[in-house]
Amino acid sequence: MRSCFCFLILAASFVCLGSLCAQQQLTPEVKPEVDPAHAEKMQAGLELFKSQVRQVLIKSCIDCHGGDEVQSGLDLATRKGLLRGGAHGPAIFPGKSVDSNVVRFISHKEKPYMPEGDDKLPPDKIAAISKWIDLGAPYDRPLVENPRDPDSWVSAVVPDKARDF
């Protein structure tokens, strides 16, 4: 009886293994799409970040989004925080500035207009940020010393509604 049971287990294993092998042979291999100019774009984006974008983000954005405060859950102090986004969804889509909330908000095309309570950024600064996003939005280092980790549990924001239970 025991050997019969072992035989059934062994036979079922071979059937499952054969099925998995057949599926792998029938499934075409999906290769990720790679931009052949990726390295050049990231290098150009990094130069643009260092020469123009960093200063704009520090002067106009970091006080509310990554310095002592993180309003709307958006922390721009690190690239990780920028990519994560905040209460309004993803802040940017690397390579697609036209789809990025940051560009819509700083261009005053959509509310909330940014910087909050200030005039719209000059067109050359908006263009630099847009181009930087189109080039992949690379950072060379965080915008503040000792930035928060947006994945850390201590960075979690508890909404006011959740406190009223």
Q: Please report the pLDDT score of residue 144 as a whole number.
A: 86
First to last CA, the chain: 60
Contacts of 137 by beta carbon, 8 Å cutoff, 6+ apart: 45, 49, 79, 82, 83, 92, 94
Domain boundaries defined on the chain: 38-153
Amino acid at 11: A
Q: Is the pLDDT reported for residue 3 higher than 60?
A: no
- Residue 9 CA: distances (Å) to CA of 21, 23, 26, 79, 136: 18, 21, 26, 51, 52
The pLDDT tens digits of the residues spanning 87-108 come to: 999 999 999 999 999 999 999 9
Separation between Cα atoms, residue 124 and residue 52, nearest integer Å: 10
Comparison of pLDDT for 113 and 33, the residue scoring more: 113
Q: Please report the pLDDT score of residue 145 as a whole number.
A: 83
DSSP state of 61: T
* Pair 54, 132: CB distance under 8 Å: no
Q: How confident is the model at residue 160 (pLDDT cuts 50, 70, 90)?
A: confident
Q: How confident is the model at residue 113 (pLDDT cuts 50, 70, 90)?
A: very high
The pLDDT tens digits of the residues spanning 115-141 come to: 998 899 999 999 999 999 999 999 999
Tell me the average pLDDT of the chain: 82
Q: Please report the pLDDT score of residue 68 as a whole number.
A: 77
* Pair 157, 163: CB distance under 8 Å: no
Assign residue 41 a region (left: φ > 0; alpha: ψ between -120 and 50; beta: otherwise): alpha
Helices (H), 27-78: 38-48, 54-60
Using CB atoms within 10 Å of the CB of residue 92, give its burial: 0 to 12 exposed, 13 to 18 middle, 19+ buried: buried
When mean pLDDT is compared over 11-15, 73-77, 141-145, the highest value belongs to 73-77
Separation between Cα atoms, residue 130 and residue 137, nearest integer Å: 9
The pLDDT tens digits of the residues spanning 43-56 come to: 999 999 999 999 99
Q: Please report the pLDDT score of residue 162 as a whole number.
A: 74
